[in-house]
Amino acid sequence: MSRREKNLWIFGGILIVIYALFPIAWIVSLSLKAPSDLSNQQFLPTQVSWENYELILTGGASDLFLPALRNSFGIVLIATAIACFLAMFAAYAIARLDFPGKKLILSTALAVAIFPVISIVTPLFNLWRQIGLYDTWPGLIIPYLSLTLPISIWTLSAFFREIPWEMEQAAQVDGATTWQAFRKVIVPLAAPGVFTTAIIAFFIAWNDFVYGISLTSTNAARPVPAALGLFSGASQFESPTGGISAAAVVVTIPVIILVLLFQRRIVAGLTNGAVKG
């Protein structure tokens, strides 16, 4: 590769980084603007102010934002855990056992993954009201399974196919009990796959807005994206822009850290499940 060509690809790389980070930089910059500065029509704040963060963490908007943060973490973690738990057994069966219906299960997962979410919401809205699940944690955890379970089954089956299962027998030949062989050999091999699957499933449920906005009405279960959509300013005449930006930064930073730490695995998980199969 010539020097000129090399520089060209590096330039392309820099463009990509700017492309990816620009809106993030903008929302961070916006969150640091004082209310009077919000409409300066410039990219950067004239003066850095922490007012917006105070507003959402201790101030007037905290009773909307903090419960939402708690709801989001709780509901999404539980939905991810249930999905991974169920998907582990299913993926093990798909990767290791020979039984009719494998294809049916994988196709169903695919169909569920592309299902229009809003078509699930409308009947659930009425049903949840009747049976008292409206605006509760379980009322969101159950529909969230439609988001987390299919992707978990796909990604995990792809990961489990790559595990050298013969090692389990090898360990047993060497004198390990079945349980030891499972715990000392298979679990360490399978754990990274399960972990990656959990991260991807977490992202998808964390991103949900349709269920969150439709199936909740109060702080009891409303997750962060829905709360962001309903944010209003400190007073009727103040725009909620600053508060929304600060809240957006708070919920985006942990996700970005996760991405930076586990990028290689996330890419492998996303592409394995979808293309290689």
Partner 1 sequence: MSTTTLPPAGEKTSPKSAPKRAISDRARAERKLGWMLAGPAFAVMLLVTAYPILQAFYESLFDFRLTDPENRSFTWFSNYYVVLTDRIWWISLGVTLFITVVTVAVELVLGFGLALVMVKALSSIRPIIRAAILIPYAVITVVSAFAWQFAFSLTSGFVNTWFGWVPGIGADTDWFGGQWSALFVVCLAEIWKTTPFISLLLLAGLAQVPEVLQEAARVDGATWWQRLTKVTIPNMKAAIMVALLFRSLDAFRVFDSIFVMTGGANNTETVSFLAYRQTISRLEIGLGSAVSVLLFLCVVIICAIFIKGFKVDLSSTTGDK
> How far apart (Å, rounded) are the C-alpha atoms in residues 168 and 174?
10
Q: Whole-number minimum distance, CB 11 to partner 1, in Å?
A: 10
Which lies closer to partner 1 via its Cβ, residue 82 or residue 185?
82
One symbol per residue from 218 to 237: x for binding partner 1 (CB under 8 A), - otherwise; what is it?
A: ------xx--xx--------
Does residue 39 touch partner 1 according to CB under 8 A? yes
> Do 36 and 223 meet the contact criterion of CB atoms below 8 Å apart?
no
Query: Using CA atoms, how far apart are residues 141 and 139, in angstroms rounded to an integer?
Result: 6
Helix (H, G, I), strand (E, B) or coil at 193: helix
The total of other beta-carbon atoms located within 10 Å of residue 41's CB is 5
Degrees to nearest 5, angle at CA 43 with 36 and 34: 20
What's the gap between Cα 155 and its chain centre? 14
Does the footprint of partner 1 cover residue 3 (CB under 8 A)?
no
Q: Name which position in 3, 20, 166, 188 contacts partner 1 (CB under 8 A).
A: 20
By CB under 8 A, tell whether 180 contacts partner 1.
no
Residue 46 sits in the site that holds partner 1 (CB under 8 A): no
Site for partner 1 in 51-90 (CB under 8 A): 86-87, 89-90
Asked if 164 touches partner 1 (CB under 8 A), the answer is: no
**Residues near 61 by Cβ (< 8 Å), separated by ≥ 6?**
55, 231, 234, 243, 247
Residue 117 lies near partner 1 (rule: CB under 8 A): yes
Q: Which of 10, 48, 170, 187 binds partner 1 (CB under 8 A)?
A: 10
Q: Which of 55, 133, 149, 190 binds partner 1 (CB under 8 A)?
A: 149
Binding of residue 263 to partner 1 (CB under 8 A)? yes
Query: In whole angstroms, how close is the CB of 264 to partner 1 at the nearest point?
Result: 7
Q: CA-to-CA distance for 163 and 94, rounded, in angstroms?
A: 13
